[in-house]
A and B are shown apart, each in its own frame.
Chain A
Amino acid sequence: MNCRSEVLEVTVEARQVEEAMLALLHTILLHRSSGKFHYKKEGTYSIGTVGTLDIDCDFIDFTFVRVSSEELDRVIRKAVSEFKDALSSDGMGQISLEFYQKKKSRWPFSDECIPWEVWSIKVNVVNLANEQERQICREKVGEKLGEKVINVVEVINRHEYLPKMPTQSDVDNVFDTSLKDVQPYLYKITYQITDSLGTSVSTTMRRLIKDTLAL
């Protein structure tokens, strides 16, 4: 299957990394989350409702919308926090949000994870010298994030492919049903860090390669 891959690139100050990543990841997840499915008899199902929340950023002049799910927010924040800690104060890194479907394989092979949409967010971290520049950076990064949200919306509304609505037995191969209030498509978040010399040396990168080569 052809997996569509989209790349977004942002340049931010160190203290803005967390909010910028949350804004973009949550914007994507807003579009890729559904209400909880409730399967009934006769093969029909009903879908729960997704609430939304406006979130103001503290270090960026920006407001974004995320789904109303504290559980999901916790998961995303944890991943972003790890990414932010791994990034040095003036390095580069990339965080990827991949939506996939599981395909059951027979023993002894493990289940295959087939990605159908991958979003990569490249981050350049800069250091600014003084408060005036930081103030300008707040506004500029806010504008940039606005442009990225528009990009995301345009890409999402262009895409034709979405996994077929699954039957009850198959729902865990398409959706993440672990949350109480919303149901995003199955996703995973990975990241890699490029140190200042331009070489990719993180262990995460090695793990990624390992996973790809493993059966």
Chain B
Amino acid sequence: MDSGLSPQDKKDLDKFIKFFALKTVQVIVQARLGEKIGTRSSSSPTGSDWFNLAIKDIPEVTHEAKKALAGQLPGIGRSMCVEISLKTSEDIKVSYTVYNRLSVLLKSLLAITRVTPAYKLSRKQGHDYVILYRIYFGEVQLNGLGEGFQMVRVGVVGTPVGTVTLTCAYRTNLAFMSNRQFERSAPIMGIIVDHFVDPPGGGPRPVNMGHPCNYRAPDEDDGGQYAGVQDSQEVCTTSFSTSPPSQVLHAGKDHGGVVPVPGQPPHGADAHPTAENAANTPVVNLNWKYHKVYLDWRRSASPSDPVVSLNAFTRKIGAFVNKPNAPVTASSLDLPFAAFAPRGLDLEENDPMVQPPDSPTCPSPLQASLHSQGSEGSGQQDDFVMVDFRPAFSKDDLLPMDLGTFYREFQNPPQLASLSLHISAQSMADDLDSLPEKLAVYEKNIDEFDAFVDMLQ
């Protein structure tokens, strides 16, 4: 591949990158509007469908993106970043292979933007918060994403002048949001959005404040709000040639005839440093005071009414458990109340997905601990309470063997022998040793296997 691009090719490539950047912004912002997106396929191309994908152009977003681009393109050392942030109501202080590959990259972006945690948040925005977006050039700012943020490389497309890399960095710790189901009426406490600051006296919105992602589509004909956007919208009429690159053909029209270049990826991929593009980053800095408040609430729950709360919020308690005769101590309450805790703080031993219950009837740990403490004798009554153990749906304990007895006897089964580590290692060694014998047996029966195969034909 020759290192010099013809002026026409360079012009085409710049146009692809420009429209790729604009479409990327549209996909990201539209994914955070809070609505489902739908566009139609059409078998004949229309003028504005870049990369053969129907992605609507929201005029305001195009305007912002063009403003941010300011006539330049993303390049080496000049990454284009789209920042997604959350603003609460109380605080205002958020070439032919290149073209196809860019198209696939945009499709990947479509898929990825529905998968990051911010998508679910953005679908629920409205009363308590809105989602904002901000486009900027330069160094990617990842410091607002909190600890443990993830990076996904959406994809890489090599071009003759460099590599387009699309990366998404997203906050993973949205624990505050995912547990709102437990606290529907509680206000948003102690949230500090310290990334964006409202200027005193309500002046014009500061430069680093985001724009709302709550665009409502106007009527189809309304394009006049941003004069000049429609005019400068270039028409994308792409036409491809199936002939080999030495016989280059341009489409008859003069806007954007494109010739694909089949073959190896451009050498630029290894020679040039990458040009970063679009990082998708929610940038809210949640104050951790929220979690402290939440925990305090948990501990102050009334100890005199454990049964009702337990039934509502734990999975493991049996039905119809007797109310204890005396108040249950805080230490035995801690275990069931752990179900209240936000996901990040949840105790792993309570999570049935992590440690499946031992028995199918799933007796509650509270019952188990109360019972086993009871059976150890009266000497420990300072620390725990005796509770009558009446399993659900069982008759009185008159028969020699009934449900209650069954529970008691099979509470703590011994560990399975095959699960202990040294024994499983031993059995693996045995398996390996018996392998030659097994192979010999199979070889002996090779005729049978052949007969089976014949039968299938």
Q: Which B residues from 213 to 239 make CB contacts under 8 A with A?
A: 237-239
Residues of the A chain whose Cβ atoms lie less than 8 Å from the Cβ of B110: 30, 52, 65
Q: From residue B205, how far is it (CB to closest CB) to chain A in Å?
A: 30
Which segment, of A14-22, A103-111, A145-153, faces chain B? A145-153
Q: When chains A and B are docked, how far (Å) is the Cα of A35 from the Cα of B107?
A: 13
Count of chain A residues with Cβ under 8 Å from any Cβ of B? Answer: 59
Q: C-beta contact mask, B30-53 vs A, less than 8 Å → 1, else 0?
A: 000000111111111110010011
CA distance A31 to B119 in the complex (A): 20
Stretch from B67-75, B241-249, B420-428, B434-442 forming part of the interface with A: B241-249
Mark the stretch among A56-64, A74-82, A84-92, A189-197 that contacts chain B. Answer: A56-64
How far apart sit A56 and B116, CA to CA, in the bound complex (Å)?
15
Instruction: Report B-chain residues with C-beta under 8 Å of the C-beta of A209.
Output: 453, 456
Closest to B112 in A: A153
Evaluate whether A44 and B251 lie within 8 angstroms (CB atoms) in the complex, with A65-B110, A133-B352 already known: yes
- In the complex the two chains form, is B36's CB within 8 Å of A54's CB? yes
* Whole-angstrom CA separation of A209 from B455 in the bound complex: 11
Contact A149 B115, beta carbon cutoff 8 Å = yes
Note all chain B residues with C-beta closer than 8 A to A56. Answer: 36
**Can you name 21 A-B pairs with beta carbons within 8 Å?**
A31-B111, A44-B239, A45-B240, A45-B242, A46-B237, A48-B43, A48-B45, A49-B45, A51-B39, A51-B40, A54-B37, A140-B353, A150-B112, A150-B115, A152-B111, A153-B152, A156-B108, A165-B96, A167-B242, A168-B242, A209-B453
State whether A35 and B52 are in contact (beta carbons under 8 Å apart), knowing that A27-B111, A206-B456 are contacts in the complex: yes
Which size class do B's interface residues fall under? 35 or more
Is B192 positioned at the interface, with any CB of A under 8 Å from its CB?
Answer: no
B238 in complex: contacting residue of A46, A50, A213, CB < 8 Å: A46
A interface residues, Cβ below 8 angstroms from B: 27, 30-31, 34-36, 38, 40, 42-54, 56, 61, 63-65, 67-69, 129-130, 132-133, 136-137, 140, 146, 149-150, 152-154, 156-157, 160, 162, 164-168, 180-182, 206, 209-210, 213-214
Number of A-B residue pairs at CB separation under 8 A: 170
Closest residue of chain B to A168, judged by CB?
B242
Assess A52 versus B39: contact at CB under 8 Å? Given A136-B352, A153-B111: yes
Contact call A46/B43, Cβ cutoff below 8 A: no
Tell me which of A35, A40, A65 contacts B41 (CB under 8 A): A35
**Other-chain residue from B104, B116, B119 in contact with A157 (beta carbon distance below 8 A):** B104
Residue from A38, A44, A46, A153 whose CB has the most chain B CB atoms within 10 Å: A153
Chain A binder among B18-26, B127-135, B153-161: B153-161
Report the nearest A residue to B105, measured CB to CB. A157
Q: Is the CB of A68 within 8 A of B152?
A: no
Are B249 and A50 in touch, CB under 8 angstroms?
A: no
| B293 located at the interface, meaning its Cβ lies under 8 Å from any Cβ of chain A in the complex | no
| B236 and chain A: residue at smallest CB distance | A49
**Which residue of chain B has the shortest Cβ distance to A165 in the bound complex?**
B242
In the complex, residue of chain A having the shortest beta-carbon distance to the beta carbon of B31: A54
Query: Do A34 and B262 touch across chains, with their CB atoms under 8 A apart?
Result: no
Cα-based distance from A189 to B154 in the complex (angstroms): 26
Chain B residues with CB below 8 A from A52, complex form: 37-39, 53-55, 107, 110
- Complex interface: chain B residues within 8 A of A45 (CB): 239-242
Report B-chain residues with C-beta under 8 Å of the C-beta of A157.
104-105, 108, 153-156
In the complex, whether B114 has a CB less than 8 A from a CB of chain A is yes
Distance in angstroms from A153 CB to nearest chain B CB is: 4
B5: Cβ under 8 A from any A Cβ: no
Alpha-carbon separation in the docked complex, A185 to B100 (Å): 14
A50 touches B353 (CB 8 A): no
Measured between C-beta atoms, what is the minimum distance from A199 to chain B in Å? Answer: 13
Nearest A-chain residue to B251, judged by Cβ: A44
Q: Which of B54, B237, B249, B262 contacts A43 (CB 8 A)?
A: B249
Q: Which residues of A contact B351 (CB under 8 A)?
A: 136
List of 3 A-B pairs having minimum Cβ-Cβ separation, nearest first: A157-B155, A51-B39, A181-B41
Shortest Cβ distance from residue A75 to the other chain B in the assembled complex, whole angstroms:
15
